[in-house]
Structure formats: structure tokens, C-alpha cells
Structure 1
Amino acid sequence: MSRAERHRLTSLHDVELATLAASGDRQAFGELVRRHGSAVRALLRRIGATATEADDLAQDAFISAFESIAEFRGEGTFASWVKKIAARAHARRYQRDRRLRMRIEAAEPEDVGHSADPSGRMDLDEALKSLAEAERLCVSLCYGAGLSHTEAAEALNLPLGTVKSHVKRGLDKLKTRLAPDGDTLEGRRGSG
């Protein structure tokens, strides 16, 4: 690709790139991957994928996005659209792996203790790791990937009430873990 062509692509909006990609322009789609690939992988890592899984799932998500690029209408951001595709792919893999694990053994979620940095703050990623797998997945899909509770329930093939319960329990645990010792987030908001 020439320098002028590269400059032209980098100056286009995501919707324009998606339109070009829908007409078969692979370089335009490549620019979308370049712009949003790391954010998609970061989301997948946050919802529990290993680095290798995140790379694989991101690649699968972008392939799916390319195959269905004509469906992207620009009503939301391209980043949100492809993140939803990636989150759903992770959810499908999670469900498949979960069924396999259940066949092998009935596993209890690990109880990970508080792991704070020396200043007493806790990293959100570390706090998410302390949640049960289902809670982490539901919270991350709803808040990290922007899926509604209904969309998350469909992606996970779980009842809506179950997803809502996992999200509520997960958020409650995160509030407790991320609050300074002896303090709650609600208490700090009210006293300020």
C-alpha cells in the first residue's frame, strides 16, 4: 500500500472504512483492525481470556465482523460492534468449556484473597479475577462489552434472572473489594 493510500485510510472515519470494507476493500478493513484490535484483546483479557485465547478470539471476532460488515450500519461505534462480537465468541467458548469441565469434575470457584498494591489500592483486573467465573463473565459482558442483560443471557444461553443475579453479586463483591478497608463506596460518596 502506498503512503498516500495509507494516509487516506487513516484519515477516514470508522463508518467510512466499514462502507469501503463492505464493498470489498480489505485494506479499509485492515485499518479497522489496526485501530481496534488492541481494545478488543484487552476486553477479552478483562473478561477472563488468557493472552493466547484473547488473540485467537479477537482474530475470530474480526473475521466474523468482516464476513458480516454489511450489517454494520454505524448506529453505534464500530468498536462497540466488534467488541460485542468478541464477547459473544468468548461466551460461546466459555459455555463449551464449562460443559466440558462439568463433565470432568464439579469445580468450586477459587477464593482469591485481597491482593492490593502497597498503596492500598486494588487493580480492577485483579478484583475481577477474584469473582466466580460466571460473575466475572456476566459483569464483563454487561459493563465491559456493553451488552444488555438480555443480550448477555442470550450469548451465554442462561436465563435472564440468572445473568442479573451474577451481575448483582459480582458488582457487590467488586464494591467490597475495591473499597478501602472499613469503607464502602456508598459511604465515601455520601461523606464528601
Structure 2
Amino acid sequence: MNAETFNSRYPVGTPVVAYPACRPEDHPGDRRLITRTRSKAQVLGGHTDVVWVDGHSACIALSHVDVVSEDEFKAARAAGTAAAVAERGALPVPVGGTPERLGHATPAETVPALLATIKELWGLQSPLIDALNTVHQSMTSCVGDEWAEEWLGEVWTQLPLQVRAAAGDKDAVDELAASRGAAP
């Protein structure tokens, strides 16, 4: 559907399910937003029909937006909240996922949510680095294993230098030190 047709059928505030990355048939685990439109649809760059929605800062292609009824919207929002409560044992932090309420959050609501998310992500840092360290050690211990050597050359080297260094890759530590002008 193009922007002109969308605008003729659906006013700003229409309930939708939006897929910022991929549609569920392409990647079932990708994020979906149960939200409302916050702008009229328009053509972006002369080639892509898009609309802006509550809870997401960028526009989303109309091909990644499904209009739903008000009842479907309410049921989907309730189901999403119930699933989050069951999974985490508490209401989800409304950062990076489905917004908990429509409209724009105030700084008083946003700042504590952002700080909580940062704290949660910081807590994941150590387990992730430990896991990367284990993977790196496992692969480097497979001396002569063609697949492991290929993986180290093609996959491991694509990770950011700082990540490889934090995971215990001595070559990455040396390269990082050299790029900063320090002795390894």
C-alpha cells in the first residue's frame, strides 16, 4: 500500500503492529511494536512509503506495518504485558520494546528507565566476556583443525578489536595497545 492510500484509509492515531527490523515471517524473533501511528504516511527519498509510530524514533516502511482493530490492539497489548510479566516476574522496562503507554514519556519517566536498562546491560558484560573467552580458548586449542582456524580467521576477526581484547585474545590486546601508541 502506498502513502496516499494509507492516509485516505487511516488517520493519525490508527492502531498498528509495526516491525522495525523484519517481518515475523522473515525473522520470527524480531521485535514488534503494538502501537499507534503518530504521523501521516509519506514517501521517503522518493521511493519508500513510511509512517512514524509511537514508541519508535525512526520511520517504518508501510510494508512493515499491519493495521489492527482497536480490540485487536488492546488484546495484543494485554498479551504482550502478560508475557513480559510471566517471563520476568515484573512489568518490563519500556525502553527498546513495546511502549507501556501511548504518547511521549516525560524525562522523569525516561531517565530512571534508561538507568535501569544501562545497569542491566552492564551486569551482562561479565558473563558475555566470559563466554567469549571460553569460545576463543576452545577454538585456539583446536590446533590443526581446519574449521576452527577458518572460524578464527573469518568470524572472530570480524568482532570489534576491543571485544576480542576483552575476551582474552592476546593478538587483539597487542594490536589495541599498538593502535593507542602504548607498549603491549
Query: What is the TM-score of this pair, normalised by structure 2?
Result: 0.29
More helix per residue: 1 or 2? 1
Compare relative contact order (CA 8 Å, sep 6+) and give the higher one, 1 or 2.
1
Max Rg structure: 2
